[in-house]
Structure 1
């Protein structure tokens, strides 16, 4: 038997195959695994695809540095099945199969340096040649490994991908076993300091919490990206995404949902760092939060979304943060909400591509202002101007966004949004995302109106809320899950080709089903004292996990599509609903808002 580890005289540092990113067909965004060490000394994150290592991020989570690194047998990759190698750390194993051969590779990062380590074993029915195919996107990276130059039937050894002079070789010299033990110990210690709810699947819950923790950048505390993936055109369309796809950016909305999940899990430090990041990256002097930023805080997309500006107000209240520095920063955000033209009209609502009056946005803004007012009052300050605006908008949300003349019910129901604050008007707009024609605003519904209930702005048994639930189920529920909104076009074409917006000819695309919406429905059902249905929603989210226990953005026929996977928001919703089930009520529902409007 020939052993990779024994062929030390033939140790080579691989020369990466470098290709310009625009010329490279993008890798699928449905990552099978995502991992990094807990230590800040290892600023490197790996993802696994269907054939081996997918993008590796370095030196931060907004920078994919490599495209893929694959074991080749006789010049060809195998097809991989991915699974956790340790349920309590982000250590993953891939079992690969090819023509007459099998391989098993386990992946970790070296906690002491910027290197990914892969432990390899190969068995073949005939002598085969082994090599490593490594493609970088930007910067420099080296691959080191002990590889036999002659054909072998069996082999065992390690290869490393490192960033910096000699880093790969140093990781290889240390050895996989030593690095893997330290890597696992870091995650075990982290989980030992947290709680676990009774309602959740143990393996998926632990995996979800670790994934959320791993999305935080190491050089920029509190900066947590939406997903380490680049779905569809965001991976190849340089006009749409000149540098990289937006999922590897920080979105205040996603960061809020992740932070509230981490508070429930017992990691308040994560949420505190997230709040500090939000407030450091406010757009001065006006105080609004940018649509998204790189992990260093540099704005990328710059549209105004009022719910994102309200996010730090809500998060600060959950954390009980009312020190002068925090309150002064929050005041800028609250004042911006009051001063924004025609507020609570927003340039964009939470699905990014429409302006108007959105019930979900209005819920966030109202709740955020009431929470901020409470922090002010704890400091002995007058908060009347914020409460006056919140009360007015709470009273008007129905008249702005619930139609009495829509096509789905003779009773009022909430719309996704209205363009003009008149929900009974036949105002038309184009939904975007390759929708060919304009649509009457009264015909577009969205499950996001449930933010009104979750945040304490409206009662769960309010007649308009109940009627909208029925309408949304009729229009958007399919296969046990929900679409984002009527005629959502953010997804693949009918024949499975990737979503894009710069097609040479009009091409219809179709948004699929979002598991995180099952979590939001579960929180609503808890407020109706329907714990059995809420528990079913938790199971529905869990059923969408892939073999590496990564939860997707979208599913079809019960399986994740090639949408962003893992999506931090989906993992956060799983964690938060699990704790809500244990406690019998949504864990981050602000009681101060409930007392003001529902008591």
Structure 2
């Protein structure tokens, strides 16, 4: 006799979590549907609705029960997954046990906000049970669930309904960890509880399917009534017709892919990578690209943000990849979306929900430069008509870079401020790329600034005689990042936040950021400084795995699982990043023309469905945690940046040059450090010596009076600043005004806090 008490015990339930980020596959339809589904361990994980930024359930799985006991299929982990084609995301999963075979097909309805699940259970005297954990609106303890003819839940303006075409023999609602369906089986060995409602908590629902074959519909709407309407309508649709519409739309898109010639394995991964990026595009906010439809180490915590947020950097990297495989319209939509999310000061939020609402509050200069580079690339391939909104975006972005560069508040790993080779490269290239869209005076100014910053990259980021020189037989190398000059620059220290805020000398840390100097055309592949640093990263950061070579972000990184494989929790051990395998492969093309070992390696670093993760495991196997050398860790999977890097590397291998490279940058610099006609002195990027024959522009972001003298004992002179361009003000000295061998001493007369004269040795 089942337990028919009205109130399930255990309210409000244990603290909720998300699902593991180790996904098998992701899917969406290309029609009107606003639903994105993810799958892991052979079951449904987070489902996002009505945009890619809003997960609504933790998971939807199955229990199989019979005379010999019961099995939760996600825990058994005995399954296979396949799709009709790599660019048709219709996952078919087969779970196998000693006495059962469960076949599942997951179909996102192209015309309704619905996920259809066709199921078929084979085995003697078996029953199938579905379990779903609502997590509506990302909230923790406020869901209410009802169990009856269908399984439903609501929180605010989000509701779901899970309905079976043959109905449920019985159903129950409970609180996770106390009275949910899994606890019922764990305690009683079968389904005994039939609670009709669980209110305002971390709830779960279970239903016994009335038949061992049929179709489930999981639907979302603003109300339970609306979700029920969608569920009933979806089950009334002819399933085969829905499949034909779904696959037809993806087939039409897939035929437009321009994949370079490659081995069958690489071509398969490339087609899948393009589809994964396409799947991550929002429809309510067309062009929005979240970094991943997952929450890293999600099964251990309940982070509202996760990776289902837009990072401008990741979105632009994905758009570059779309250009590389011929999807120009898709890339242009992302650019238009970024126009819509730009702040009035010209920047973009560190990350944000698809509707543009900011989440974290950092400012990253590369995320301001990259949309300008995307504009320039679309223009270069003939798929951009410069309209006023585009011009405005570029003007605002360039203004922000001019006023705030060259130092960034955060590097591309979102950890430190200062001079990053990656950020400097993006900023310089963006200024050059935008110059011809500007008025003549502004154009000349931004090119002067770009030349000055380009010439000074090594002053800020290249150390000679650093601690890594002698062990590796080099005389210098590029650092991962150098602090600002007021924090001693290359002689300063860098805080490694993900190991508890430990500080390390900047010269001790290397990363792959410098490789973008070659990829962009600012430095040549055979530049001695580049070769020195390649030698160091190959010795310090590279690891050989069963999948092939990969790289750590930097030595001492702590963003990854602990040594025992337990999840990252603010501390850990940094693991290997497949996207960095791609970055090293790009250098291989520049150096010797062959990136095939890196492409092959990336294609083997995937999960069961071919998805590329953020990180792969680099230690001994830990089978009980699903960690195997060279295979995905518990970090975000898929990561669209990793899939984008794979596609761009394949395109670069075919073309012999980086797919995102801009001719205007290559022609201006030709891989060589320039000799800038004018140096720009700023308080965030000062210098104490000026080469002979250069003009000097002392700048600030507001009007000032410069007090200066050119000889010891001379009477100080004063000169008011004049507006330069884009909100800056400066005092200009022509080369003839600066006698070689002299010293310019100066201060700001209107700055009461000025502590003494600054000096620049001339010539």
The answer, yes or no, to whether TM exceeds 0.5 is yes
Q: Which residue of 2 aligns with 1:588?
A: 660
1:436 to partner: Cα distance: 6.2
The number of residue pairs the alignment matches comes to: 563
Q: Does 1:306 align with 2:365?
A: yes
1:25 to partner: Cα distance: 3.5
Q: Which residue of 2 aligns with 1:327?
A: 391
Range with greater deviation from structure 2 (191-200 or 302-311): 191-200
Q: Which residue among 54, 62, 71 is the counterpart of 2:53? A: 62
1:172 to partner: Cα distance: 1.4
Q: Does 1:197 align with 2:265?
A: no
Range with greater deviation from structure 2 (199-208 or 423-432): 423-432
1:176 to partner: Cα distance: 2.8
Q: Does 1:555 align with 2:616?
A: yes
Q: Which residue among 540, 562, 574 is the counterpart of 2:646? A: 574
Q: Which residue of 2 aligns with 1:47?
A: 38
1:424 to partner: Cα distance: 7.7
For each residue in 1:205-243, what CA deviation from the matched residue of structure 2 results, as whole angstroms up to 9, or x when unmatched? 1111111111110010110110000012x66556xx4x2
Counterparts of 1:18 and 1:370 in 2: how far apart (Å)? 62
For each residue in 1:74-125, what CA deviation from the matched residue of structure 2 results, as whole angstroms up to 9, or x when unmatched? 264213534232114001011113462221101111111000011111112x
Q: Which residue of 2 aligns with 1:3?
A: none
Q: Which residue of 2 aligns with 1:391?
A: 451
Q: Does 1:119 align with 2:118?
A: yes
**Structure with higher RCO (Cα < 8 A, 6+ apart):** 1
CA contact (8 A) 1:199 1:581 kept: no
Change (3 A) 1:131 1:304: same
Q: Which residue of 2 aligns with 1:223?
A: 288
SS in 1 for 2:585: helix
Change (3 A) 1:73 1:498: same
For each residue in 1:27-52, what CA deviation from the matched residue of structure 2 results, as whole angstroms up to 9, or x when unmatched? 2101111001011x110010001141
After superposition, where does 1:134-173 map in structure 2 within 5 Å?
Answer: 134-138=132-136, 139-145=158-164, 146=166, 149=169, 155-164=212-221, 165=226, 166-173=229-236
SS in 2 for 1:161: strand
1:186 to partner: Cα distance: 0.7
SS in 2 for 1:141: strand
Change (3 A) 1:91 1:20: farther
Q: Which residue among 602, 609, 613 is the counterpart of 1:541? A: 602
Counterparts of 1:252 and 1:142 in 2: how far apart (Å)? 34
Larger radius of gyration: 2
Change (3 A) 1:570 1:127: same
Change (3 A) 1:64 1:37: same
After superposition, where does 1:405-424 map in structure 2 within 5 Å?
Answer: 405-409=465-469, 410-421=474-485
Q: Which residue of 1 aligns with 2:376?
A: 317
Runs (4 or more) in structure 1 with deviation over 6 Å come to: 17-22, 150-154
Change (3 A) 1:121 1:249: same
Change (3 A) 1:387 1:131: same
CA contact (8 A) 1:406 1:424 kept: no
For each residue in 1:318-358, what CA deviation from the matched residue of structure 2 results, as whole angstroms up to 9, or x when unmatched? 11143333122211110111111xx2111101001111111
For each residue in 1:302-321, what CA deviation from the matched residue of structure 2 results, as whole angstroms up to 9, or x when unmatched? 21100000011101101114
1:412 to partner: Cα distance: 1.3
CA contact (8 A) 2:161 2:219 kept: yes
Counterparts of 1:18 and 1:308 in 2: how far apart (Å)? 46
SS in 1 for 2:362: coil
1:149 to partner: Cα distance: 3.9
Change (3 A) 1:382 1:257: same
Change (3 A) 1:19 1:69: farther
Q: Which residue of 2 aligns with 1:445?
A: 510
Counterparts of 1:344 and 1:207 in 2: how far apart (Å)? 38
Change (3 A) 1:144 1:203: same
CA contact (8 A) 2:305 2:359 kept: no
More strand by share: 2
Counterparts of 1:293 and 1:18 in 2: how far apart (Å)? 35
SS in 2 for 1:413: strand
For each residue in 1:129-160, what CA deviation from the matched residue of structure 2 results, as whole angstroms up to 9, or x when unmatched? 21210111113111111257499999321111
SS in 1 for 2:83: strand
Q: Which residue of 1 aligns with 2:196?
A: none
Q: Which residue of 1 aligns with 2:341?
A: 281
Counterparts of 1:554 and 1:52 in 2: how far apart (Å)? 22
Q: Which residue of 2 aligns with 1:357?
A: 419
Change (3 A) 1:371 1:20: farther
Q: Please, what is the CA RMSD of the aligned residues?
A: 2.3
After superposition, where does 1:216-295 map in structure 2 within 5 Å?
Answer: 216-232=281-297, 237=301, 241=303, 243-245=304-306, 247-284=307-344, 286-295=345-354
Q: Which residue of 2 aligns with 1:9?
A: none
CA contact (8 A) 1:366 1:457 kept: no
- Please report the TM-score for the alignment, with normalisation by the length of structure 1: 0.90
Q: Does 1:403 align with 2:401?
A: no
For each residue in 1:437-484, what CA deviation from the matched residue of structure 2 results, as whole angstroms up to 9, or x when unmatched? 321111110011111111111111111011000011111001211001
Q: Which residue of 2 aligns with 1:24?
A: 16
Counterparts of 1:213 and 1:478 in 2: how far apart (Å)? 31
For each residue in 1:38-79, what CA deviation from the matched residue of structure 2 results, as whole angstroms up to 9, or x when unmatched? 11x110010001141000000110000111111221264213
More helix by share: 1
Q: Does 1:71 align with 2:62?
A: yes
Counterparts of 2:602 and 2:370 in 1: how far apart (Å)? 24
Range with greater deviation from structure 2 (99-108 or 54-63): 99-108
Q: Which residue of 1 aligns with 2:532?
A: 467
Counterparts of 2:462 and 2:50 in 1: how far apart (Å)? 47
CA contact (8 A) 2:113 2:219 kept: yes
1:548 to partner: Cα distance: 0.9
CA contact (8 A) 1:553 1:570 kept: yes
Counterparts of 2:79 and 2:435 in 1: how far apart (Å)? 52
The answer for unaligned runs of 5 or more in structure 1 is: 1-16, 502-507
Counterparts of 1:560 and 1:423 in 2: how far apart (Å)? 39
For each residue in 1:344-378, what CA deviation from the matched residue of structure 2 results, as whole angstroms up to 9, or x when unmatched? 1111010011111111100000011000113337x
Counterparts of 2:232 and 2:550 in 1: how far apart (Å)? 48
CA contact (8 A) 1:109 1:179 kept: no
CA contact (8 A) 1:423 1:441 kept: no
